[in-house]
Chain A
Amino acid sequence: MLARIPSAVLQGVIGQAVDVEVHVSKGIPSFTIVGLPDASCRESRDRVRAALLSSKLPWPDKRVTVNLAPGGLRKEGAGLDLAIAVALLVVQDELTESAVDGCAFVAELGLDGSLRRVPGTLSLVEAVACDRVVVAADAYAEARLDADQEALCAPTLGELVRYLRGEADWVTPALPPPRELPAPAEDLRDVRGQPLGRRALEIAAAGGHHLLMVGPPGAGKTMLARRLPGLLPPLDRDAARIVTRIYSAGDFGVPTGELITAPPFRAPHHGATMAALVGGGSRALRPGEISAAHGGVLFLDELGEFSPGVLDALRQPLEEGVIRVSRAVGSVSFPAEFVLVGSMNPCPCGNAGGPGQCRCSDAARMRYARRLSGPLLDRFDMRLFVPRPTAEELFRGEPGQPTAAVRERVLAARRRAGRRGVRCNSLLGSAALEAEAPLAAEAARMAERAVASGQLSARGLQRVRCVGLTICDLDGRAPPLRGPDLALALQLRNNPVWLDRSYAGSHVA
């Protein structure tokens, strides 16, 4: 007696079709699962048995072998429960083969026979090799989101059997009504003072430039960072599909009736491990925070407190927009294109920046600055010092431009970038940059001075040009880059005082 039921398992964020084969023969009653199941998969046996019995369905007292094909692929999670149960029902002739023909099953079983959602339902549904997929009721909206397959659902195993036998009609739960994209709760209008910080946010949003904010505690770094997603354009359809799948697979929040189009904002705590940040894990390869921030903002508050190894793991995804996680069990790629916003204090006491204010020793200050490796620092196109706003600014300062107005400029700038064939300027290659961002004579002289004085490396100059181009785009001007464009880009690159070389050094070198 043999039955074969299609299902799927999750590999990273991608679903992989799996066939559940059940063979029942005479012999001492036993139940074996083969085909590289992990622990939660092997525990299926007990869940399935309890679910069948609670649903008043028979459990075969025979020798049962369950094979999960393909045999070479590791299976994780409990999503195969339902497929195993259905296969058992088929081999026991509780269900006819024709009743389940062309139908796949993706759900976890409760001991009472209820069906439960499994992470990554969206990816699993689109991976199965048939037209209809049965999922749990609470995963129905998600399963219908984006896949070609028809989604069906049932509350319990008993109900499901009735539907499959034709004793009852499939029940379709009501879908939540489509929501308007909520206006971002945090508006730039609330930020007083910080003209440079606001400008940097705008540039970061328009050009996709990574931003490092250095400043004393309470200066408003976090406040600024939280207003960045509101400036970003909504995710395009491709990005939305990817982000929705990542959220579904990584359990960063169950998607509801529609694709996620709001740019994500992820702010992991500085205790985050490497696996939590970039993805991975010892067995299940899960997407990390940087993938959850795909298309949006990854905000690392207190950058200096993250473990250096974790931070340096960001370098490759920052460069390539994708993270490849390799483990002994296999390797998967997660998309990870995000705007990185870091914030840290200038020194342990937090007060460096103004003349004579810091009480830290030089050694302590240097140790603190060293926590950020040079290569990672290099990835930040903008390094901004965020001073504490003065009382004047706080109480009598003009409220700034609202997010909506700034966002218009950002969208216009992104359209200009789009005409260059990239989503945003930070993705321009160096050859393209050379062609797209010519320097006016005065700007070229200034760039030459900056390079000659050792203030800027060749690569640094490229990045400054790129930021300058974004500034041009925001102002609605066509290149070449004028002096002020480059001057502001330079200001934004080497502002933090602790990044400067010592005073004496600048005289000698």
Chain B
Amino acid sequence: MSRDAPVPPTVGAALPAGGGSSGADRRTGCPEPGGVAAALLPGAGSTGSGEEIERPAAGFGAPAAGPDGGELGDEAYLAALASLAGMGPARLERLLGRWEPAEAWECLAAGRLVEAATTAGVGERVAHRWVRDAARADPAEIHSRHRRAGVTVTRRGSAGYPERLTGDAEPPAVLFGQGTPEVLECPTVTIVGTRRCTRYGADVAFDLARTAAAHGAAVISGLAVGIDAAAHAGALAADGAPPVGVVGSGLDRIYPRQNAVLWKMVAQRGLLLSEAPLGAPPERWRFPARNRIMAALGDACIVVESHADGGALGTATEAARRGRTVAAVPGPIRSPASAGSNRLIAEGCGVVCDIEDLLVLLDMERARLPLRLPSPDTRPASEGGAAADPATSAAILDAFDWMPATLEMLAARTGIDLGELSWHLENLNVAGLLARRGLWYERRAEGPAGASPGT
């Protein structure tokens, strides 16, 4: 490799001793050895990744420590490689199947376009852009930018790498994280679902996540809107295991924007993970790849609500392929938002109706539960209800048929004046007997599902 371009003398120095064995692991996840194509290319030394290692064995730093001062670790090169536009996990794997990260970077930086293109299985245009960008980029700078932003760069096989991913079929070559990685030592549950969720789905996701977190299970989700956001919000509402967010974009590219608060709180109190380096845009293809990480990290995967062709089903499939328990929350058969999740149940996956079901899936004993749940409504129920007339309130509650209803529907059913009705609905809402989302009011069970695990 060093024939083509001057390799900084420190490149090999930071490589870990276990590089050979992890290279072998990598090849299992990489279908294309690149042998034939590589042999045709001038300057291609050999086909295996572990063979042409001429690095000095001495003087490497701690694998997870990264570059201190002049040392430049694999992390830096992996971060730089992942920063290239269009560098997905599969392409990165193909490059790493043949080369060490530093060598792959060298190849690109030295402008060996055809070789890189063939190895990664990409067209000339993509490779051309890689080569152009690599010539301008500085791995050391990219790495230090991550460190400045408080983002840890963890290489596969290094100490901080999540255990659940190590044995995985398609483990990410590099992970970018923010927050407390120890969260993953808890039992974990992945809660996913549609972005276009109903009030029912969001409520269930919120309550399941809140109780799961209170029982000490870390909730993993994708920080998308809808079910994901409700799950994260639920986990944050509990005084228990903090949540884990696995996102598709770079950790500085908050997407979708409306979850900015949630995003920051997850990073602060829990763990935020991404396969993409800082600055990576939320491109479409990153999300299915992200789903496999969520699936692999969770001991169980719960689909709360999913449309018939929802992305959450993809996560469920990934989880099933990994032998994780997959369960779904049943929904109304007429609700399009539950079509996918109901089909999962029809196909034989588990059913989650309350926290008991979830704990059974996770093999968690109820005895070690820390039971300090904050009440969803800390407001005293009497405050708003005092002025309201109980008979009218009862009539209004009777007018609900356990399906959401609007003010106008209720007015038609009860015949109560719109102003009076609004006033009573407001009081019932404050008292926690109703829930409101936009136009729709829904009757709540006495206390949200599974909110009090003692009963």
Interface residue? A449 (CB, 8 A): yes
Identify the closest chain B residue to A491 (Cβ).
Answer: B422
When distances are taken between beta carbons in the complex, the residues of chain A under 8 Å from B229 are 502-505
A199 to B408, CA, bound (A): 11
Closest to B229 in A: A504
A355 touches B198 (CB 8 A): yes
Q: How many Å lie between the Cα of A356 and that of B227 in the bound state?
A: 13
A507–B233 CB distance below 8 A: yes
- B206 surroundings in chain A (CB, below 8 A): 504, 507
Number of interface residues of A (CB under 8 A): 43
Bound Cα distance from A99 to B51, whole angstroms: 117
Q: Is the CB of A508 within 8 A of B262?
A: yes
- CB 8 Å contact bits of B419-451 with A (1 = contact, 0 = none): 110110110001000000111100000000000
Q: Which of B237, B412, B430 contacts A507 (CB 8 A)?
A: B237
* List of B residues within 8 angstroms of A385 by Cβ: 439
**A504 in contact with B426 (CB, 8 Å):** no
CB–CB B420/A484 < 8 A? yes
The reply to whether the CB of A445 lies closer than 8 angstroms to some CB of chain B is yes
Set A194, A353, A498, A503: member contacting B199, Cβ < 8 A: A503
Interface 9-residue window, one of B70-78, B99-107, B126-134, B253-261: B253-261
Given A356-B336, A504-B233, A508-B265, verify A487-B411 contact (CB < 8 Å). Answer: no
Known: A195-B411, A490-B422. A503 touches B437 (CB 8 A): yes
In the assembled complex, how far is the CB of residue A493 from the closest CB belonging to chain B, in whole angstroms? 11
Q: Is A93 an interface residue (CB 8 A)?
A: no
Tell me if B365 counts as interface (CB < 8 A to partner A).
no
CB-defined contacts of A280 to chain B, threshold 8 Å: none
**Nearest CB on B from A398, distance (A):** 10
**A412 CB-CB contact with B under 8 Å:** no
Tell me whether B336 and A497 are in contact (CB under 8 A): no
- Return the contact of B258 from the options A355, A387, A483, A505 (Cβ within 8 A): A505
B259 with A484: CB separation less than 8 A: no
Mask of A485-509 contacts with B, CB within 8 angstroms, 1/0: 1111011000111101111110111
Q: Tell me the residues in window 384-425 of chain B with beta carbons closer than 8 Å to chain A beta carbons.
A: 384, 387, 404, 406-408, 411-412, 417-420, 422-423, 425
Smallest Cβ-Cβ distance to A501: which chain B residue? B258
Name the B residues within 8 Å of A363 (CB-CB).
256
CB-nearest residue of chain B to A503: B202
Q: Which of B194-214 contact A (CB under 8 A)?
A: 195-200, 202, 206
B230 CB–A CB distance under 8 Å: yes
Which residues on A sit within 8 Å (CB–CB) of B261?
A: 505, 508-509
Cβ–Cβ < 8 Å partners of B256 in chain A: 362-363
Residues of A within 8 A of B440 (CB): 354-355, 497
Residues of chain B within 8 A (CB-CB) of A446 are 384, 426
A319 at the interface (CB under 8 A from B): no
Cβ of A171 under 8 Å from chain B = no
Determine whether the beta carbon of B430 is less than 8 Å from that of A495.
no
Q: How far is the CB of B375 from chain A (nearest CB, A)?
A: 13
Contact of B423 among A484, A502, A503, A505 (CB under 8 A): A484
B290 within 8 A of A: no
Contact: B225 with A195, CB < 8 Å?
no
**Are A355 and B422 CB-contacts (below 8 A) given A387-B406, A445-B384?**
no
Chain A residues within 8 Å of B237, by CB: 507
B236 touching A508, Cβ below 8 Å: yes
Contact A487 B419 (CB under 8 A): yes
Q: Decide if A471 is an interface residue (CB 8 Å cutoff).
A: yes
The CA of A195 and the CA of B409, in the complex, are separated in Å by: 10
Is B289's CB within 8 Å of the partner chain A? no
Given A504-B225, A508-B265 in contact, is the A487-B198 Cβ separation under 8 Å? Answer: no
- Chain A minimum-CB-distance residue to B264: A508
Contact of A488 among B202, B234, B262, B422 (CB under 8 A): B422
Pick from A199, A358, A363 the residue with the most CB of B within 10 Å. A199
CB proximity to B under 8 Å, residues A405-453: 442, 445-446, 449
B335, A196: Cβ atoms under 8 Å?
A: no
- Cβ of A445: which chain B residues have Cβ within 8 Å of it? 383-384
Contact of B408 among A196, A488, A504 (CB under 8 A): A196
* B387 contacts A387, C-beta separation under 8 Å: no
The answer to whether B198 touches A356 (Cβ under 8 A) is: yes
Chain B residue contacts of A495, Cβ below 8 A: 438-439
A504 with B417: CB separation less than 8 A: no
Closest residue of B by beta carbon distance from A483: B423
Q: Is the CB of B337 within 8 A of A504?
A: no
Checking A354, A387, A487 against B422 with a beta-carbon cut-off of 8 angstroms, the contacting residue is A487
Residues 454-475 of chain A, each 1 if its beta carbon lies under 8 Å from chain B, else 0: 0000000000000000010000
Q: A442-B387, A449-B430 given as contacts; is B230 within 8 A of A362 (CB)? A: no
Partner of B337, one of A356, A393, A484: A356
- Give complex CA distance A494, B335 in Å: 26
**Per-residue A-contact encoding for B11-28, CB less than 8 Å = 1, 0 else:** 000000000000000000
**Bound-state Cα–Cα, A138 to B406, Å:** 56
Contact indicator B418/A353 (Cβ below 8 Å): no
Question: In the complex, which residues of chain B have a beta carbon less than 8 angstroms from the beta carbon of A484?
Answer: 417, 419-420, 422-423
- Residue B232 at the chain A interface, CB threshold 8 Å: yes
**Is there an interface contact between B418 and A488, defined as CB atoms closer than 8 Å?**
yes
B residues in contact with A502, CB < 8 Å: 225, 229, 258-259
Chain A residue at minimal CB-CB distance from B259: A504
State whether A358 and B418 are in contact (beta carbons under 8 Å apart), knowing that A442-B387, A483-B423, A508-B265 are contacts in the complex: no
Q: Which A residues are within 8 Å of any B CB, using their own CB?
A: 193-196, 199, 353-356, 358, 362-363, 366, 385, 387, 393, 442, 445-446, 449, 471, 482-488, 490-491, 495-498, 500-505, 507-509
Sort A-B residue pairs by CB-CB distance and give the 10 closest, nearest first.
A497-B438, A504-B229, A484-B419, A487-B422, A487-B423, A484-B423, A488-B419, A507-B233, A355-B198, A356-B337
- List 7 A-B pairs, Cβ < 8 Å: A195-B412, A356-B198, A366-B258, A484-B422, A488-B423, A503-B199, A509-B261
Given A356-B196, A505-B261, A508-B233: 8 more A-B contacts, CB < 8 Å? A353-B439, A355-B198, A483-B423, A484-B422, A488-B419, A502-B259, A504-B229, A508-B265
